[in-house]
Structure formats: structure tokens, C-alpha cells
Amino acid sequence: MAAVTPTTYASEFQQARDNPRAFWARAAEDIRWTKKPQRILDDSKPPFYRWFADGELNTCDNCVDRHVDAGRGDDPALIYDSPVTGNKKTFTFAELRDEVARVAGMLHAQGVEKGDRVVIYMPMIPETVFAMLACARIGAIHSVVFGGFAGAELAKRIDDARPKVLLSASCGIEPNRVVEYKPLLDRACELAAHAPDCCIIFQREQHRCELIAGRDHDWSELLAEAAPADCVPVKATDPLYVLYTSGTTGTPKGVVRDNGGHAVALNWSMKNIYDVQAGDVYWAGSDVGWVVGHSYIVYGPLIAGCTTVLYEGKPVGTPDAGAFWRVISEHKVQVFFTAPTAFRAIKKADPQGKEVAKYDLSNFRIQFLAGEHCDPDTAKWAHGILGVPIVDHWWQTETAWPNVANPMGIEPLDVPYGSAGRPVPGYLVEVLGDDGKPVATGEMGDICNRLPLPPGTLQTLWNNDERFISSYMATYEGYYRSGDAGYFDAAGNVYVMSRIDDVINVAGHRLSTGAMEQVLAGHPDIAETAVIGVADADKGQVPVGLVVLKSGVDKSQETLVAELVQLMRDEIGPVASFKRALVVDGLPKTRSGKVVRGTLRDMADGKDWQAPATIEDPAVLENIQARLAASGYPAA
């Protein structure tokens, strides 16, 4: 018998690079198809590459039904754990199938068909997962909007997606308050030019809302009348969902995710990156409103046949800094994934890690971190208290799964803290200079991926192919531009250091400074404004507004700032963490009129900076530096 060549990172990467069609055809064998694909990659219209172009499948079938058919109907699929309400419930694969089929039938009864859009504006409850899978079941396209967004932001997404139905709940639950969703939903429908005629509301016992006759319907009442719906086969290239990500213009970009490539890539990632198998318990401590929640709370674990955890709580305060360790212990979690900001919050509350000792973490094997750059100190602290590998990795809403990682299921690599790992097989990551050529080892540049991107990554932007090209494909011919800056070290490890554009990362949430600037500019006393992301020990970054007042305004700064903070809360939501605005004499601009935000960020963060040669009025920078210093920037 011939010896079996061991699988290594190098061999997997080479196979995916040299023959991507064969590599991904093998990965597709692990998915259940109603029509097995023969054309693995359609590269006839670059940069619009399509994977498994002639295949057909159903994503919900791969998440739920096929596991039931394989005899795993009684195995746990979804664990709901809500410390903010005191509720816990486990759903088997058979129970999950039945719940999802009924919600799919409820949608079908409201006229939702294959290709229709459904906006989901809901908290971290099982019904949200049912809703996502139900859309997939009947071929509808869902667009989940994070419950922390205010009505104006929800309205933008409604107008872009134009949903036939909007699904929501009466409220979300925070540790110390109930967040009423219905007023936000009503405001969004008032503002939207294309508000849906039908809203279905799940009434939570913590708060019941009033329904608007004719438009609003009670979830439970409709569900009681619904007949279960079967899975509808769709093309591999048909959209599964649209997920909006912030853009520098303030207008959200609707990332379109397909069905076939998405299922293949996520299934491959669960085994090869996260090192989990069917039956393992996997937990991503995120929200379904973000891409992590889509990929690694709902679709990835379920496609792989894992048990996934849906957690409605916080890293601290529900009830204490041991909240995560309690969940890991109680549910025998083997692999956990969350953002570095969560660990910084835990470290702040429990610097010695004493809470860990209260729980049995013997089943816990690996801690993954992503969503923002993880500083080495946080990673070392986490390893010190947990004693398991701490694995940083990097990816984006656009890619749906990791570009750069330590592939724990293939071969754990020696990756230093501060690095996100090495390019994942299937991604051809390069760091480019302004000339579009790779920079030297150790030199900062534009992190890009050579085309074609692997399966599962964005197909385009919803109804906006032109913006898809201009946002991602136009800067460097033949490359996807990530918008992040970083470098390679001599061993091939990638260090992702910052955003190149003006999207900031607040506690793992990507938020547009352009959208914030639009809000501040709407205040009657503001002439112009710039928002910068300033480094923060707990949240990674927080926004600081620099505002120039209109002539003749006579108002105390305390009053003005309070008004701006409230305005931001009303328009963007608490997720923005906007608490600081500084009145300045003017904004530093180049001759072309561009505000030099990079210089301002460096100034606020205490980094070396110099006035750009094209700056119109250097004295403006001196004024801002004085205002920042008077307000405690850079922080000690």
C-alpha cells in the first residue's frame, strides 16, 4: 500500500493556488447538491467570477435537513443561552428543521417567493435564526440589520433592499434596560421610500408593543396558521443574503453572498481553520447582525453538523466577568470565537483572571479572535488565564470567511502574537504599494487578494455592479483591494495594522465616519465637521468629532456636545459609542479640499506626524493639536 502523504499547510496552499478548480471541486463533495456542479469556476466575465455556476442546492437543507436524514435528528443543533432573560433552550436538528419549516411557511403565506427580499431586524433569540434559515429554505434573500441601529440607518437598508416583508421583535434586552424596537421600526418605515406593506413582530414577554392595523402582524398568530414549507432548490449563484457594510460615503454597501460557494467555503473552513467536526460544540460570541453571526453562529457550524451557541449577553455584566467561562463550561464548548475588545473588557474587570478558576474548561481547546487587530498584550493575557492556543485571524464582511489565519485543522503554525497568521488556502494575499507592485518584506502597504477570490466571497454589491468595481476592483488591476493596510514578515505571517479608508472599528463593529459626519453636519450650529477614529484601550477605536461652528453661534460647548451626542444616538444608535466632540477653528484640508484625517488620527494617537505638503493652512493643525491636548489626547 502506498504511503499517505500527510496534509500540510504548504501542500494545501499549493494545491489551491496551482489548481483551484480541482481543489474546490473536492471541497464541494462534502455538500448535498440537488444538481451537482460540473462547471466549477466561470471566469468568463472578470471580475464577476462565479463558482459552481451550473450547480443547484438549498442552504437550509445543508444546515438542517441533511443531518436529520443522516440519522442525527436527535443531536443538539442550537443552544440558546440568555443571561439577560434567564432563558436557556436546546433545539435538536429535527426540532430546528420543524421550527424553520413553519416560519418558512409563514413567510410563504405572506407572498414571499424565491428571490424576494426579507429584512430581519431582531435580537439574539432563536426566532432570528429560524427566520434566516426560513428565508434560505424558500429561496428568499434575507438582509439582517443589527438591532443597535437607529431608524434612519434601518431606513437606508430598507430602501436599498426593498423587502416584501420585514421581520422584527418587540424589543431587545440589555443588561440594565429594555430596548424597544417598534419605535425604531416605525421611524424607519416613515423615512423609507420603499417601506414594506407587511411587518411581522415577535412579541417578547419583557415588553409587548402595539401593532399598526393592516401593516403589522403578530408572529405567533401567523405561525399558528402556517403550513410547513419544504426546501426549494436554487442555483449555486443565486443570492442567499445581502449584508450591509459601512461605506466612506455614509451610504451602506449591500454585500451579496451566493448559496453554493458560501456553503462549500464555510464547510471547508470549519474543519480546516477552526478544527471542528460534526457533533462538536462551537461558539461564536457575536451578533447575527454582523458577518461573524451569519458565517459562524448560523451557517458555518450548522452546515458542518456542529452544535452552535446563540448567546444573548455580554462578556461582563451578565452577571460578571466570568460570563464567557460559564457558557463554555456549561455547554462543553470546544472552540470559541470572539473579538479582542471582549477580552479587553474582561481583563479590565478581572485582571488576574480569577473567574476562570470557578469553571471546568476541560473541553475547551482553542480561542479564536477577530474583528479588529489584536494587540500582543491582550493575546498573551488570554493565553495566560486560559492555557489554550489564542488564534488571531483576519477577514471581512466582504469575504465571509478568513483570508488570513492559523489553520488549526490542517497544521498549527508558529504564528507570533500581533500577526493574524498566514494566507488561507484559496486566497492569494499580497501587500501592494501605490504602484500596484508587491512591497518588500516588513514594509507597510495595501493588503490585496489576487483574483479570482475563492468561493463564498462577495459576488457584487446589491444592484450596484459599478460600485462593486470602483470600491474593490478598480485600484489595482487583477486584485481585490481589502482597504486594510499591513505587511508580511520574513516567515510569511501577515500583520493587519489599520484601515486605509475612513471606516473605523468600534468594539469590532465597522462604522462609517462619513455617516457620522453627515449626522453632525445636520445640527443647525455646525458649519463643517470631521470624525476620526481614536485609539481606545477597551473598544479598539472610538469616534471623536471635530466641529466648526457657524458664525454667530453663542452656545456653551457642554450644551453643544450633549446635543451632538444625542443626535448621533438618535441617528446611528448607541453602537457608535460617540461621546466626544471638540470645537475647532477649522479643518485641515489639502488644496483639493480633502480633510487630512490620517494626520489627525496620528496626532490624536500620539504618533509621529507632519503637515502634508499640500495642506492649505498649517495653523489649523496647530489649533486642533491644542484642542486635542486640552481634552487628554493622546492618552497617557
Q: Say if residue 393 is exposed, middle or buried (CB neighbours under 10 Å; 0-12, 13-18, 19+).
A: buried
CA 484 centroid distance within chain: 15
* Helix H or strand E segment including 144: strand 141-144
Q: List the beta strands (DSSP E) in 165-301.
A: 165-169, 171-174, 177-180, 198-202, 216-218, 234-235, 239-245, 253-258, 281-284
| Predicted confidence (pLDDT) per residue in 128-162, tens digit | 999 999 999 999 999 999 886 788 889 999 999 99
The CA distance from 241 to 63, in Å, is 15
Return left, alpha or beta for 353; rule: phi > 0 is left, psi -120 to 50 is alpha, else beta. Answer: left
The CA distance from 405 to 528, in Å, is 41
In the predicted model, what is the mean pLDDT of residues 505-531? 79
Q: Is the pLDDT of residue 491 over 70?
A: yes
Q: Is the pLDDT of residue 1 over 50?
A: no
pLDDT band at residue 5 using 50, 70 and 90 as cut-offs:
low
In the predicted model, what is the mean pLDDT of residues 329-348? 91
Cβ proximity of 545 and 523 under 8 Å: no
Q: Is the pLDDT of residue 57 over 50?
A: yes
CATH of region 506-630, choose from 3.90.600.10, 3.40.50.2000, 1.25.40.10, 3.30.300.30: 3.30.300.30
Determine the pLDDT at residue 347. Answer: 86
The CA distance from 533 to 602, in Å, is 10
Q: Which tops the pLDDT comparison, 634 or 563? A: 563
DSSP state at residue 473: I
In the predicted model, what is the mean pLDDT of residues 232-237? 98
pLDDT band at residue 592 using 50, 70 and 90 as cut-offs:
very low
Q: Is the pLDDT of residue 616 over 80?
A: no
CA-derived radius of gyration, the chain: 24
Q: Is the pLDDT of residue 6 over 80?
A: no
Cβ proximity of 258 and 53 under 8 Å: no
In the predicted model, what is the mean pLDDT of residues 176-190? 94
Q: What is the dihedral of CA 422, 428, 432, 435, to 10 degrees?
A: 170
Count of C-beta atoms within a 10 Å radius of residue 381: 18
The CA distance from 399 to 378, in Å, is 26
Residues linked to residue 392 through DSSP beta bridges, in sequence order: 369
Determine the pLDDT at residue 575. Answer: 83
Count of C-beta atoms within a 10 Å radius of residue 569: 17
The CA distance from 342 to 344, in Å, is 5
150-159, 229-238, 366-375 — which one is most confidently predicted on average? 229-238
Q: Is the pLDDT of residue 2 over 60?
A: no
> Domain map of the chain by residue range?
506-630
| Predicted confidence (pLDDT) per residue in 525-558, tens digit | 887 788 888 888 888 888 899 998 877 788 888 8
* Helix H or strand E segment including 347: helix 340-349
Determine the pLDDT at residue 140. Answer: 98
Cβ proximity of 132 and 298 under 8 Å: yes
Q: Which tops the pLDDT comparison, 377 or 421? A: 421
The label of the residue with cell 440607518 reads 153
Determine the pLDDT at residue 577. Answer: 84
Determine the pLDDT at residue 248. Answer: 47
Judged by average pLDDT, the poorest of 313-327, 449-463, 561-575 is: 561-575
Q: Which tops the pLDDT comparison, 537 or 246? A: 537
Q: What is the dihedral of CA 224, 230, 236, 241, to 10 degrees?
A: 0
Q: Which three cell numbers stand for residue 233?
A: 432548490
pTM: predicted TM-score of the whole model, two decimal places:
0.84
Determine the pLDDT at residue 503. Answer: 63
Determine the pLDDT at residue 602. Answer: 83
Cβ proximity of 542 and 506 under 8 Å: yes
Query: What is the end-to-end Cα distance of the chain in Å, rounded?
Result: 65
The CA distance from 455 to 43, in Å, is 12
Judged by average pLDDT, the poorest of 186-190, 263-267, 411-415, 625-629 is: 625-629
Share above pLDDT 90 across residues of the chain, in percent, rounded to a whole number: 69
Determine the pLDDT at residue 291. Answer: 94
Q: Which three cell numbers stand for residue 222?
A: 401567523
The CA distance from 597 to 499, in Å, is 12
Cβ proximity of 157 and 515 under 8 Å: no
Closest CA to 229 of 94, 169, 128, 139: 139
Determine the pLDDT at residue 4. Answer: 47
Determine the pLDDT at residue 227. Answer: 98
Q: Is the pLDDT of residue 576 over 90?
A: no
